[in-house]
Structure 1
Amino acid sequence: MEMYRHTFAEINLDHLAHNIRLLQSSFPQAPFLCPMVKANAYGHGDVQLARFLESLGIKHLGVCLIEEGLLLRNFGVKAEILVFRGFDREGAEKILQYQMTPVVSTWEHIEHLEAVADQPVNIHLKFDTGMNRLGFRPEEGQKLFDRLWQNKKIRLKALVTHLYNGDDALDPQGQSAEQLRKLDQVSQLFKPFNIFCHALNSSGILNLLALKQQGGSKDHPLLLQNWGLRPGLMIYGYNPLEDKSVCQLKPVMTFKSQVATYRQVKAGETVSYGATWKAKRDSVIAVVPVGYADGFHRILSNKATLLFAGKRVPIAGTICMDYLMLDVTDVVGNEDLKKFKDQEVILFGYGSGGSFLSADEIGTLAQSITWEMLTSVGERVPRVYTGVDARFIRDEVGGE
């Protein structure tokens, strides 16, 4: 893709490979490793990352929407694709046609599959163990067993739940522990199906890794079963736990731009809409061609500091749809601005001289979360793939 505005998201495939291999080496016996590539792979490019993950030996991929799964199939992704959102009869037909695996959470889902299946379809069965969003109640387990046992159209492969407070998974009396006990208990009913269970998201996985490092008790709920793994945020390089020491993840995305021009602003003058920033001194303002239409939220106006020439500089004034402005006075000083022509600006990720700005920090300043910062990076921001394996993306998928 040709770029006439040098604003893009750099996706480091070496870092993604590092994070995946950390999982593979830490849990070699896991019955199920299913990286989540929903929401455009958390903003990183779903087709490109799905194909690359396959090259790393990944056999399962998770999406939310049927449409997301269809896109992957249409671009030649061969891995088993789990669809976590619900579906109607038409959706069931598409799931079967494109050989995807539905995560079933209502009786209607079962009815739709039975109505359209002309050969047995594999399913994962979701139980609501406390989040109160999707899934069967554990007390429906026996009725489900009776419905599915010797069912000629449906083959049960796994049970699923979702941890709603995975940060507390190390606490044997916490909410996650209670959820895991519930799923383990209901899974005993389904032993004749020879199933496995998956429940651990990124926070659950990282807590399990911490427990193993600490030599935790074998009766801890995290060790009740050989749980399947559904990593999301962590494969993109961010640890959702407060304690970041359990493993060294490498952030995959760097959101960057380039200064378009500079403005000399006199003391007392204002910058941008609403005059929310007034110069306290004669200042140098860098105009950067990226704004809230690109996914850098307006709430960060006059709050965040970004990386300019490897140093922190504050946002000056209101973030616009297509631009933001930075006060770079302290960095440029009295130097000739020609020295800073086309200077790189990092919104989050890796900058020059070993500098780094975390999407965690930007998310906190935006009164949001890291997940939203990554997935907000907009469609008009090109993804540029780098690293030793970047040629795979260019050759196999046609990405930049």
Structure 2
Amino acid sequence: MSPHQHAKVLVVEDSETQALALRGRLEAEGYTVQTVTSAEAALERLNGPLPDLVVADFHLPGMDGRELSRQLRLNRRTRTLPLLMLTSAREQDLERQGLESGADAYVSKSADMDVMLARLRALLRRGRTAASEGGSDTDFRPARIMVVHDSPTQRLKLGAALAQAGYEVREVANAEVALAAANDQIDCIVMPASGAALDGLDLCRRLDRRRERMALPFQIVLIGPGASDPHALAAAFDAGADDVTASTDEDEVLRMRVRALVRRRLLAEETRRSEEADARAAAADELARANAELEAANQQLRQAQAQLVQSAKMASLGELVAGIAHEINNPLAFILGHQNTVERLTGQLAGGDLAEADRAALSKATDRLGAMRMGLQRIQSLVLNLRKFSRLDEADSQNLDVPDAIETVLALLA
């Protein structure tokens, strides 16, 4: 089975017959296929897990394939998502428009199906290298346009023209409502330079002051003055308009002007998101490094604490041993002194004239005194070793008798 099989394909086609035929052929080739009938539905679907490739009809109701392509390229998640454009038209200019808007390939519906499949496989081989599967902060959202006009007919006409481009349109009838609704959720405001009950230039100035004061991101498009009236055109820009279109221009011109402004707005928003994501990643890395350094410092602190506790234990043990050695040494010296006296006196008695029984008892006592001397000397040696261990006799500097130190250790162990 080929590597491209099992790839996920999203088909955007408003013709149910064409969609079923295309889906059947693609599924027969091993692809997993989802179909939607409009570009708006496609963008909504792309807020979830991304497919591996999008196949879209150029001629779609509402937002056409060209605008869909632009929307895909404006978003970081779908910027590298392969897009294959289909059309039944024969105009050569449509291919140029589709490719310039961001499509990766262009195939006529009248072309052989094998040709279309070959183009599709080629796009899948290129793959998409930077699309992310998660992150609600990068989901698609339609640009939000506010149309301000005192004429219900004109409001409806402008709103329909902009909604056709896939925008979310809010229609407002007067200046005060427009000022209250102009917030950071609005991407662009479209209004006439003048109307029967609306002073567009004055509203433009007030909106410009509001966005300057509150750092709001919306753009302003004025409809009215054209290139034939340079003074009025200059006045419109001086009032704060970001772009101006003549009232005689076609709807496509208005959509083009709005599209250019919204594109800059969305790109700036995407850049901000990217910078914030980079900042969060950098902060996370810095926090991880700080945590690692803190953990290393804590480990060193624990080791130092353990060493201090061990040192304190040894110091306490040394003091205890010194006290015990001192307490033993005092009575030991007393006993040894008396033992020597008794042993000397028994020796004097042994040289005198004694009965046989007394001599035998004295000999036994002399032997016991010798055994006592040996025991007391062992105790004396142990006390000496304890004093050495507690370092009571240690000076600032001294020579060490290594064999003697080893003998002390062995004696303590024994």
The question of a shared fold, defined as TM-score above 0.5 by the shorter chain, is answered with: no
Tell me: higher relative CO, structure 1 or 2? Use CA pairs within 8 A at least 6 residues apart: 1
What TM-score range do you get, normalising by the shorter chain? under 0.3
Whose strand fraction is larger, Structure 1's or Structure 2's?
1
Structure 2-normalised TM-score?
Answer: 0.21
Structure with more of its chain in helix, by fraction? 2
User: Whose radius of gyration is greater, 1 or 2?
Assistant: 2
When normalised by structure 1's length, the TM-score is 0.22
